[in-house]
Structure 1
Amino acid sequence: MVVSMSSKLKNILDEKGPIRKIGVIGMGYVGIPAAVLFADSDAFEFVWGFQRDSPTSGYKIDMLNRGESPLKGDEPGLEELIKKVVDAGKFRCTSDFTRISEVDAVTLAIQTPFLSAKSLEPDFGALIEGLRLTGRNITEGTLVVLESTITPGTTGGLARQILEEESGMKASEDFALAHAPERVMVGRLLRNIREHDRIVGGIDRESTQRAVELYSLVLTSGRIIPMTATAAEVTKTAENTFRDLQIAAINQLALYCEVMGINVYDVRTGIDSLKGEGITRAVLYPGAGVGGHCLTKDTYHLERGVKISGGKLDYPQGMESIFVLARKVNDFMPVHMYNLTVEALSRAGKTPADSKVALLGWAFIRNSDDARNTPSELYRKLLLDSGCAVEVHDPYVKEYPGVSISHELSDVVKNADAAAILTGHDEYFKLDASALKELMGKEHPVIVDGRNVIKPDDFIAEGFVYKGIGRGDKN
């Protein structure tokens, strides 16, 4: 249940009036589009974007203040909107966190990875630092909103504790605190923030209402769904967990179809054709693995939330969580890609130790530069461990620690024994079988399609050894 609103906080907020100035902590895939959308609203006077001036991300400050986007994937309208609000004098990025004292509301969009999937212990180091900086600088009546995906119970627990310790004030009495999880996908950041329904959960009624006030002004077609902070935390972790489960289901079906010698896409079309009142199938697509910052960890946030809640879970004794099992299936798909590659190389009379593989796609999602938790990394490691030479191509990813990435496709595939497609970039849909074979210079080159981007028959006709996920009819 929502805690009764604090009359003290209500009086403070009534006297303070509407939200006019906003701070957004964390200039990444969530913080940047959120900040510029706030800045573009006539309801708000000014938005500060807060970014640490670190060796790895400090460059974003000057880029943003020049009106340029640090995100180099395909993000429709983002760079134009950044320039618009910078030129209008409504947005500026800074590393001076004392300016939090100038804002009426501050949101935190900071990554929350897990240290280890086995321990289920999140790495809240960056979030804790952001909370401490926020607590030290907020003033009476400030609304603090966590947009980061977090373990259920964090907003009213750890976050509240840190903010109160640092500020010397009390949440629900002196300042408002809420969770409004981001729901964006790279490639459509602005559209998602404007159009997706927004989950908003405060630690009390007044905090919820204040957060609703903040977010309702940037929505175009989405609606606000108010709830408690913990319910909002569970909503976010559960929606990603369910998506991961759906992907695992089609991935497992794809493995079944390979064994039975049929095409998983035919089966998928058949399943998806059954429509009608009360019928919901929501069949997704199989692939070479799941990456990104959310789906790879949010299951574990949800599982941890249950464990730390202190409640007793009534569940089949000794049975593993279906959500955790789904995670393991999706984590296995890069391994399956490796197995398909080894099988195909064997058919071509090669072993990994005497082969070169052109790895096509390092980003975890098509037409983006986002390579966080990319499944390509495990695939590459397995190849290297087997003695294989590996070269990587991606048209969007500029660099990645410890990995050399080329932007010239012809250089990467030249003289390669195999080409493996790990990401569904538009560029790979245009691969021509004859031209690729000539570049590879092999009588029977291998192609392994992890995203169903090529037409198998075209490549088989050119002498390729083909392997594809879920393509038992062609493998």
Structure 2
Amino acid sequence: MSKLGEILRERGPIHKVGVAGMGYVGIPSAVLFAEKFDFVLGFQRNSKSSGYKIEMLNSGLSPLKGEEPGLEELIAKVRAQGRFECTSDFSRIREMDAITVAIQTPFKDTVSLEPDFSALEEGLRQIGRYLNEGMLVVLESTITPGTTGGMAADILHEESGLVAGEDFALAHAPERVMVGRLIRNIQEHDRIVGGIDKESTERAIELYKPVLTKGRIIAMDSTAAEVTKTAENTFRDLQIAAINELALYCEAMRINVYDVRAGIDSLKGEGITRAVLHPGAGVGGHCLTKDTYHLERGVRLANSKLDYPPDAESLYVMARNINDFMPIHMYNLTSEGLSRLGKRIEYSRIAILGWAFINNSDDTRNTPAEQYYNMLIRDGATVSVHDPYVSESGGIKISRNMEDCLRGASAVAIFTGHSQYSNLKADMIKKLTGLHHPVIVDGRNVIDPDSFINEGFVYRGIGRGDKNYHYII
């Protein structure tokens, strides 16, 4: 038996689990662990921006807004049972048998492809200071391939003097969650678990297996796990880019992308696999907007020759560029709609419906609406924003009163598919704008074009080439 194997055998089963980072990943993970293990500590910095989470969680409340089925009930349950606590005292890491790290890893920019690992490094150093022999450390954050066995192992060694794979177990088990279904995703999605060695992988499996209901464990080494996470998000981004590009083509050819999509999706049978997604106003969130660059950086840092067509742009980076263009396309559609009425962006009042990047959530990370907003402000528009779940974002005031947002607007742009927006009434919106011919730009295909066109609106929709050139009634 290896040294680490002997240490883990003497330490015994996992009883106490720590989760560093109380966000969209850390909170549901922590309370699910609390159902299966003796005690769980959630570690959260007591900062001005996020320290409030500590008190809320310890009061049995969820700091996450939006619709998250089962989360608040589970937080209240494990708090009442005394199985979960949130703390800013990182010295209590020494009490844990295992600790997971769910800290965001954004990129500084998309030119240098250098990630901002400062928050992750700080978290790892905190863990390293209190790391004990035989503990398990698992990175759940999305990271550049090679980070677990490289930077993470080095930092933990620097702070503790302990060696990963000899004195403690180290693994990567990437999160695979979507806001709006956090609890279900953790329980039902297969879990990728990759240790830096066999013992680390087995210890990480011991941690994650109890929380799975339908999902299964897929074991591999840590670098393969890192590539799996970055690649699966890169593939999804590629699929979104494919349908977004098709939507642009359909607009130019004056046809309906949703008819084409239904036709493509109708072919099913043996050997036929495809995922035809939906076009939209842009891609937001923490993962898809950056994981392509983690994958690209991992290849670059591998220091191995990449056999690839000379001077060809990466297909994945090209897909990123297409998805980043969609808020610009929304701006262009808005400008075209106003132009049909002899108006322009400058001096117009424009209402944005939806600031969160995903339906029925308060998650505003990398929202595509922000790029659109900034372009409008730059070009002299007056802009109001409505979102039923968000009240402020980066200093931008966001109203939860839709009537106030829409009143006097020359154009309305739908950026998020919140369920509230699928019930928008053309006559009500027209009355609020006070115009005979307002403009409406549907970035999520949530309204019926004809009902708005018949009410006198100038309609523009992504992929709706069949409607974008209508007569003004």
**TM surpasses 0.5:** yes
Whether 1:347 aligns to 2:335 is no
Note the 1:97-112 alignment, pairs <5 A. 97-112=90-105
**What is the deviation of 1:385?**
1.0
Contact 1:271 1:281 in 2 (8 A): no
Note the 1:360-371 alignment, pairs <5 A. 360-371=353-364
Question: Match for residue 9 of structure 1?
Answer: 4
For the aligned residue pairs, the C-alpha RMSD in angstroms reads 0.6
Note the 1:250-265 alignment, pairs <5 A. 250-265=243-258
* Cα deviation code 1:242-277 (max 9, x no counterpart): 000000000000000000000000000000000001
Note the 1:80-99 alignment, pairs <5 A. 80-99=73-92
* Cα deviation code 1:47-76 (max 9, x no counterpart): 000000001000000000000000011100
Question: Match for residue 114 of structure 2?
Answer: 121
Note the 1:32-51 alignment, pairs <5 A. 32-41=27-36, 44-51=37-44
**What is the deviation of 1:314?**
0.3
SS of the residue aligned with 1:217? Answer: helix
Contact 2:355 2:415 in 1 (8 A): yes
SS of the residue aligned with 1:396? Answer: coil
Contact 1:369 1:398 in 2 (8 A): no
Query: What is the CA–CA distance in structure 2 between the aligned matches of 1:300 and 1:353, rounded to whole Å?
Result: 35
Question: Match for residue 395 of structure 2?
Answer: 402
Letter in 2 for 1:182: E
Query: What is the CA–CA distance in structure 2 between the aligned matches of 1:310 and 1:334, rounded to whole Å?
Result: 36
Letter in 1 for 2:411: A
Question: Match for residue 471 of structure 2?
Answer: none
Contact 2:16 2:98 in 1 (8 A): yes
Note the 1:170-319 alignment, pairs <5 A. 170-319=163-312
**What is the deviation of 1:77?**
0.7
Question: Match for residue 143 of structure 2?
Answer: 150
**What is the deviation of 1:349?**
2.0
Question: Match for residue 3 of structure 1?
Answer: none
Query: What is the CA–CA distance in structure 1 between the aligned matches of 2:319 and 2:384, rounded to whole Å?
Result: 30
Letter in 1 for 2:103: I
Contact 1:178 1:202 in 2 (8 A): yes
Aligned residues: 468
**What is the deviation of 1:402?**
2.0
Contact 1:200 1:212 in 2 (8 A): yes
Letter in 1 for 2:370: E
Letter in 1 for 2:16: K
Whether 1:429 aligns to 2:422 is yes
Moved over 3 A (4+): none
Query: What is the CA–CA distance in structure 1 between the aligned matches of 2:395 and 2:50, rounded to whole Å?
Result: 17
Letter in 2 for 1:445: P
* Cα deviation code 1:148-175 (max 9, x no counterpart): 0000000000000000111111111110
Paired-residue identity, %: 71
Q: TM-score, normalised by structure 1?
A: 0.98
Question: Match for residue 168 of structure 1?
Answer: 161
Query: What is the CA–CA distance in structure 1 between the aligned matches of 2:347 and 2:146, rounded to whole Å?
Result: 52
Whether 1:356 aligns to 2:349 is yes
SS of the residue aligned with 1:292? Answer: coil
* Cα deviation code 1:217-258 (max 9, x no counterpart): 000000000000000000000000000000000000000000
SS of the residue aligned with 1:327? Answer: helix
Query: What is the CA–CA distance in structure 2 between the aligned matches of 1:459 and 1:289, rounded to whole Å?
Result: 23
Query: What is the CA–CA distance in structure 2 between the aligned matches of 1:91 and 1:112, rounded to whole Å?
Result: 26
Query: What is the CA–CA distance in structure 2 between the aligned matches of 1:313 and 1:221, rounded to whole Å?
Result: 38
Question: Match for residue 408 of structure 2?
Answer: 415
Equivalent residue in structure 2 for 1:23, among 4, 15, 18 = 18
SS of the residue aligned with 1:353? Answer: coil
Contact 2:68 2:180 in 1 (8 A): yes
Question: Match for residue 450 of structure 2?
Answer: 457
* Cα deviation code 1:368-399 (max 9, x no counterpart): 00000000000001111111110000000121
Query: What is the CA–CA distance in structure 1 between the aligned matches of 2:208 and 2:357, rounded to whole Å?
Result: 29
Letter in 1 for 2:232: E
Question: Match for residue 56 of structure 1?
Answer: 49
Contact 2:19 2:40 in 1 (8 A): yes
Query: What is the CA–CA distance in structure 2 between the aligned matches of 1:334 and 1:402, rounded to whole Å?
Result: 20
Equivalent residue in structure 1 for 2:372, among 379, 383, 388 = 379
SS of the residue aligned with 1:48? Answer: strand
Equivalent residue in structure 1 for 2:70, among 59, 65, 77 = 77
Question: Match for residue 389 of structure 1?
Answer: 382
Contact 1:110 1:126 in 2 (8 A): yes
Structure 1 unaligned regions, length at least 5: 1-5
Whether 1:442 aligns to 2:435 is yes
**What is the deviation of 1:412?**
0.4
Contact 2:391 2:397 in 1 (8 A): no
Query: What is the CA–CA distance in structure 1 between the aligned matches of 2:391 and 2:86, rounded to whole Å?
Result: 23
Query: What is the CA–CA distance in structure 1 between the aligned matches of 2:2 and 2:409, rounded to whole Å?
Result: 70
Query: What is the CA–CA distance in structure 2 between the aligned matches of 1:354 and 1:231, rounded to whole Å?
Result: 53
**What is the deviation of 1:401?**
1.3
**What is the deviation of 1:119?**
0.7
Contact 1:418 1:447 in 2 (8 A): yes
**What is the deviation of 1:141?**
0.2
Letter in 2 for 1:7: S
Whether 1:472 aligns to 2:445 is no
**What is the deviation of 1:354?**
2.1
**What is the deviation of 1:353?**
1.0
**What is the deviation of 1:407?**
0.3
